[in-house]
Structures are given as structure tokens and as C-alpha cells.
Structure 1
Amino acid sequence: MSTTLPFNFSTRPLIPHAHDYSHGESEPWHQHSCAQLLYSLSGVVSVYTQQGCWVIPPSRGVWLPAGVVHQLAITGKVAARTLFVDPFARADLPAVCQVVQISSLLRELIITAIDLPELYVANTRTERIYELILDEIRGMSVLPFNLPEPTSPALSNICMRVRNDLGKTWTTSEAASLLNISERTLLRHFRREIGFSFSEWLRRARLMEALKRLAQGQSVLRVALELGYESQSAFSLMFRQRLGTPPSDYFQSI
């Protein structure tokens, strides 16, 4: 595992950075001494930590607290804009990894920050932009695009089998039978280790895989059928409920 060099926050509370990735690129396991807000203008970024996976659709972002060990995988052409944030810039910065909604205001502030000077004086436009960015970070809405990793070997094995065969018609009953436990016991274990039900975990796993496949240009029908949906309309309904737009329009409307 590599660790990035320390960032110098003596002149400003955050450091903006722009980087474009090609499809299939990745970054190995590493960590930062500061917090990080990674925003994707296009393409899909998958962020892996020891706690699970976070998938960042276009126009969304992921928040990583200081010291979190992670790696990145790129799907499609990704235009990433990152803010490296001094962990002491504000006392109430998010303390856990989370995929977040990037407001229109924060989006424009991030883009603007790329060209701001490193050195500035108090009570100037540059200082106000940095401070407003920190205000907006504190108010970001959390989105359900994470896939937590169970802590027990038994549930980890079930989740791995599901991820490897997302097109299968999985049921809570079938998953429980593979562990020789009751459905109620399986649900209790899932809620204790992950925070939500097996069926919700399955929906998220399929959605996150769908985002990556759609970013590669696969058709909506193919994605729907290969991920276990009975029809394109059933998949589109789920997609619209989660993302607010049909999958056929999503990557064209951002």
C-alpha cells in the first residue's frame, strides 16, 4: 500500500485537483493524510475500502475521511475533480465514507476552485469561495450507492456468491438455506452487520453493477435482463426511483 505525500494546508483550507481517467484505469490501495471529496463529471468511479464499495455515478461525489485506505476503479471516461480538505478546517466534517449529492452550487464552486490562486489574503473573493465550499460540504445529502461488506465469513461468502451471479433470481429464503439458518435469522444478521435487509443489499448490488455497465455503453435491455430483472420496464422503474431519471436518459442528461 502506498501513502500520498502530506499536503500543505498552511496557505488554504483545501486543495483542488483535476484529473481525467481513461476507461479501465485504476489506482492501487493508498490513503491520504487529509479528507477527500472526489466528484465525477462523467463516467463512473468505484471506490473500495475495507468496509465495502462505493460507486459514484456522474454528477455525484464520494467523501473519504482522512486516513481511509482505498483504491479506485474507473468505468468509462471519467473527468474527476477532487478537493483535498484539511481535516481540521471544520469541526463537523463528515466522519465516515459516503456517496453524496453534489448541489449545483457546490459543483460550480469545485470547478471554480481549480483555478483559484494558492496564496490569497483575508476578506477576498478567493477566501469566501473556500469558506463557502466548506459550508456546502457540511450540508451534502447522503445517497444509497454504497455496498457494505459483512464482517462475518458466512455473510461474506453469501454476498460474494450473489455478486458473482447477479442475474440469478435470489430470494431471502434461498440465501438463508445456503447457510442452514432461518430467514428471520439471516435478516437479523444482515441488519446487524450491514444496516439493512438482504433484499436491499441485492438491489444496491444490481444498481451499482448496472451503472458500470451502462457507462460502458451496454443497452438498457441487456443490462436489465442480465441483472435478473423480468423486463426492461421493471429495471427502468427501479432506476428512476433511485436516480430520478430513466436509464436510457441518464448518461445523456448529465
Structure 2
Amino acid sequence: MSCLYKLISDVDQRLIDVLFDDLAISVSAPIRLPMPHLPELRSLAEKWLNQIGEMAGLDNIVALSSMSRRTLTRTFKKETGMSVGKWRQLARLMTGIEMLSEGKSVTETAMFLGYDSISSFVTLCKRLTDMSPKAMAESTLLQK
């Protein structure tokens, strides 16, 4: 009988393999932007997405709807699970990731999304993803 020295037992190796599989799934899982189901809110959300660089203030959005500000914000949160502000940030971030993965520059992306400065966009990316826009672009390019 030959003696093979194993640093890791078979059980440990299987556990490590499962952990790496789980990690790969969580890293590559797509970010999903929840859309409201209520037709009026869905229509507003689609308008925001189509004019993402012109992010009008909430009062301007309320003026487009038949709802009061309070009703709109409460209903939007109930429908999407997040506040209007957080939803809009996520929408901008997702659009930014898509643009960066298509090879657009950080400057071009930030300006298209309506940021006053590139540093505002960089700060948002780092705060929400713990990655710089350049790192996000590289990671999304590797996944394609």
C-alpha cells in the first residue's frame, strides 16, 4: 500500500469546492432593479430610466403623477422594497456598469448619468459596490 500524504482530506476538499461554487454564484449574480407593478408608478419609473441623465427632483416627478408626494413615496417603497432615492441611485449605478462594460470611459459615463463631477460617480460606485468604476468595468468585462 502506497502512502500518499494529503494536505487536505477529501471531505475538506469537497467543502472547499462547494464554498468556491457558492462564492462564484454570488459574485456573478446579476443586480436586479425592482420595478413597481402599479401602472402609474411603473410609467414614472420607465420615464426615469429613459431620461436617466436628467434626474429631475422628486417634486418634479410628483407633478407628473396624480399622487401626493407622501402617497407616491410610500407606494413606491411598498412596490419596489426601496425608497425612490435608493431606486434611482441603483438605476444610475446599473446603467453606469453597463456603459463601463461596453468600454465607455468613466468621464463619459459620469456625465451621461448627470453627475456634477466624476468624483461624485466614483464615490457612489465605491459606496455601493466597494469597487472603483475602473474595477467594475474590468470585472464586468471578464464575465462576458
TM normalised by structure 1 equals: 0.45
Consecutive aligned runs of 4 or more in structure 1 exceeding 6 Å deviation: none
Q: Hey, which of these two has a bigger chunk of strand by percent?
A: 1
Distance across 2 between alignment mates of 1:247 and 1:135: 25
- 1:223 lines up with 2:93 in the alignment: no
1:159 is displaced (CA, Å) by 0.7
Equivalent residue runs for 1:180-191 within 5 Å:
180-191=66-77
Distance across 2 between alignment mates of 1:173 and 1:148: 22
Distance across 1 between alignment mates of 2:122 and 2:73: 27
Equivalent residue runs for 1:205-224 within 5 Å:
205-224=91-110
Gaps spanning 5+ residues in structure 2: where? 1-8
Equivalent residue runs for 1:149-160 within 5 Å:
149-160=35-46
Distance across 1 between alignment mates of 2:84 and 2:36: 11
CA contact (8 A) 2:97 2:137 kept: no
Match in the other structure for 1:245: 131
- 1:165 lines up with 2:48 in the alignment: no
1:171 is displaced (CA, Å) by 1.8
Tell me which amino acid in the other structure corresponds to 1:215: S
How many percent of aligned residue pairs carry the same amino acid?
29
Equivalent residue runs for 1:133-144 within 5 Å:
133=18, 137=22
Equivalent residue runs for 1:190-201 within 5 Å:
190-201=76-87
CA contact (8 A) 1:167 1:228 kept: yes
Tell me which amino acid in the other structure corresponds to 1:152: L
Distance across 2 between alignment mates of 1:227 and 1:166: 6
Q: Hey, which of these two has a bigger chunk of helix by percent?
A: 2
Match in the other structure for 1:129: 14
Match in the other structure for 2:6: none
Gaps spanning 5+ residues in structure 1: where? 1-123
Structure showing greater relative contact order (alpha-carbon pairs closer than 8 Å, 6 or more residues apart): 2
**Matched residue count:** 129
Tell me which amino acid in the other structure corresponds to 1:133: V
Choose 1 or 2 for highest CA Rg.
2
1:209 is displaced (CA, Å) by 0.7
